């Protein structure tokens, strides 16, 4: 009897270890070109991306829940001024910071999102709280912050998000607009996102952003909109998007990729490539996605000059890249 019980436990352990894990993340897409970035800055990005994807993969290998991994890695990115999320968020036209985030679990199809928050340090953590502790999917602005206070989130001063780099970007944007000149294309890019397949076989996706430089009138992009910037379904894949949000909303990019896998039987690469390189390009939309499917395959697809990205697939193959189609 003791032998049988021991064999049963060994089978359970073997079954759990056989479940592959995978992770992919992005830190925004845009006109990211060699020669326009110093070697020191490039190293900073590469080192950060490598460390983040490695840490997330280790958590997944240890059996951590996908939700925990997505939140923890996005929080690392929210805390870095390198990215347009959290600490490094861009400025609105009025010189404020309005942050958005969303998260989705592929098994239960549960989701949570927040938009336009100004005093919460980690929007992705608040999005998870909306999913797990409220009957709603999306909360906005003052309502989201009221919920955050009720849930015990510490409120921070908006000055926490201030960086000189983003302030200069707003000043340049305003000068260009007022002079009637073409605006630097990168004003509309910048988001962070993480997608994972965990040991339990669940797909999870999360996205966080500071939005668009110079945005006005309470503009909300695709990042907090389930089906546009974020989607996860265990029957297909998990997707996090980055780019010109208005196009990702109109074309429900993340959900479209998952639906193409589920209903048209396309592979992850086929679905992501069709949406990003055909549907979006035809519409005039720029950006990219990171995605992972139920087998641990990874897709890093974008139609811009570059996308900060990193991944480790089910075979353990790691990719870290910034420019073009090659790392």
Other beta carbons within 10 Å of 117 = 27
pLDDT higher than threshold 80 for residue 318: yes
Query: How far, in Å, CA of 87 to CA of 90, rounded?
Result: 9
* Cβ–Cβ under 8 Å, residues 280 and 251: yes
* Cβ–Cβ under 8 Å, residues 47 and 55: no
Packing angle, helices 66-78 and 123-133, rounded to 10: 150
pLDDT value at position 180?
Answer: 80
pLDDT higher than threshold 90 for residue 209: yes
Mean pLDDT estimate for the chain: 92
Share of the chain above pLDDT 90, in %: 85
pLDDT value at position 327?
Answer: 55
pLDDT in tens, 2-59: 444 444 444 444 444 589 999 999 999 987 778 778 999 999 999 999 999 999 999 9
With respect to residue 106, please indicate whether it lies within any of the assigned structural domains: yes
Full residue range of the structural domain in which residue 71 is found: 19-323
With respect to residue 11, please indicate whether it lies within any of the assigned structural domains: no
Query: How far, in Å, CA of 118 to CA of 148, rounded?
Result: 11
pLDDT in tens, 164-208: 999 999 999 999 888 887 666 555 567 999 999 999 999 999 999
pLDDT value at position 105?
Answer: 98
Residue 1: pLDDT band (50, 70, 90) is very low
Other beta carbons within 10 Å of 217 = 6
pLDDT value at position 5?
Answer: 44
Query: How far, in Å, CA of 66 to CA of 242, rounded?
Result: 21
Query: What Cα–Cα distance (Å) separates residue 115 from each residue in 34, 122, 136, 163, 208?
Result: 33, 12, 13, 21, 10
Residue 140: pLDDT band (50, 70, 90) is very high
pLDDT higher than threshold 50 for residue 158: yes
* Cβ–Cβ under 8 Å, residues 284 and 301: no
pLDDT value at position 13?
Answer: 44
pLDDT in tens, 45-100: 999 999 999 999 999 999 999 999 999 999 999 999 999 999 999 999 999 999 99
pLDDT value at position 6?
Answer: 46
pTM: 0.93
With respect to residue 3, please indicate whether it lies within any of the assigned structural domains: no
With respect to residue 14, please indicate whether it lies within any of the assigned structural domains: no
Q: Give the residue with greater pLDDT, 324 vs 289.
A: 289
* Cβ–Cβ under 8 Å, residues 214 and 173: yes
Active site residues: 191
Beta-carbon contacts of residue 120 (< 8 Å; ≥ 6 apart): 99, 114, 126, 144, 145, 148, 153, 155, 156
What's the mean pLDDT in 112-131?
98
Domain total of the chain = 1
Query: How far, in Å, CA of 304 to CA of 229, rounded?
Result: 17
With respect to residue 296, please indicate whether it lies within any of the assigned structural domains: yes
pLDDT value at position 187?
Answer: 52
Structure tokens, 291:
């995605």
pLDDT value at position 190?
Answer: 76
Other beta carbons within 10 Å of 104 = 31
Indicate which CATH number applies to the domain containing 192: 3.60.20.30
pLDDT value at position 76?
Answer: 98
Query: How far, in Å, CA of 238 to CA of 35, rounded?
Result: 33
What's the mean pLDDT in 144-166?
96
With respect to residue 8, please indicate whether it lies within any of the assigned structural domains: no
With respect to residue 4, please indicate whether it lies within any of the assigned structural domains: no
With respect to residue 2, please indicate whether it lies within any of the assigned structural domains: no
Ranges 61-65, 212-216, 250-254, 276-280: which has the least confidence: 212-216
Query: How far, in Å, CA of 60 to CA of 188, rounded?
Result: 32
């Amino acid at each position: 009897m003791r032998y049988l019980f021991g064999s049963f436990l060994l089978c359970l352990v073997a079954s759990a270890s056989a479940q592959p894990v995978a992770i992919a993340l992005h830190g925004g897409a845009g006109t990211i070109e060699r020669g326009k970035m110093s070697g020191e800055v490039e190293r900073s990005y590469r080192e950060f991306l490598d460390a983040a994807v490695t840490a997330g993969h280790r958590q997944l290998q240890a059996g951590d829940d996908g939700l925990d991994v997505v939140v923890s890695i996005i929080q690392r990115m929210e805390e870095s001024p390198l990215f347009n999320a959290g600490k490094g968020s861009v400025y609105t036209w009025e010189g404020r910071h309005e942050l958005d985030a969303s998260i989705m679990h592929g098994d239960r199809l549960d989701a949570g999102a927040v938009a336009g928050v100004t005093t919460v340090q980690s929007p992705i953590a608040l999005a998870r709280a909306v999913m797990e502790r409220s009957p709603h999917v999306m909360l906005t602005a003052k309502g989201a912050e009221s919920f955050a206070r009720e849930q015990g989130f510490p409120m921070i001063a908006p000055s926490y998000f201030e960086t000189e780099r983003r302030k200069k970007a707003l000043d340049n944007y305003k000068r260009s607009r007022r002079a009637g000149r073409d605006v630097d294309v990168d004003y509309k890019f910048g988001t962070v996102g993480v997608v994972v397949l965990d040991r339990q076989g669940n797909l999870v996706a999360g996205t966080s952003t500071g939005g668009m430089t110079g945005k006005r009138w309470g503009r909300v992009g695709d990042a907090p909109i389930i089906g546009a910037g974020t989607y996860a379904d265990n029957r297909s894949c998990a997707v996090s998007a980055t780019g010109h949000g208005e196009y990702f909303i109109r074309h429900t990019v993340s959900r479209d990729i998952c639906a193409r896998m589920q209903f048209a039987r396309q592979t992850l690469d086929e679905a992501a490539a069709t949406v990003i390189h055909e549907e979006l390009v035809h519409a005039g939309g720029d950006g990219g996605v990171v995605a992972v499917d139920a087998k641990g395959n990874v897709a890093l697809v974008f139609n811009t000059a570059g996308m900060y990205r990193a991944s480790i697939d089910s075979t353990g193959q790691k990719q870290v890249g910034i420019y073009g189609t090659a790392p």
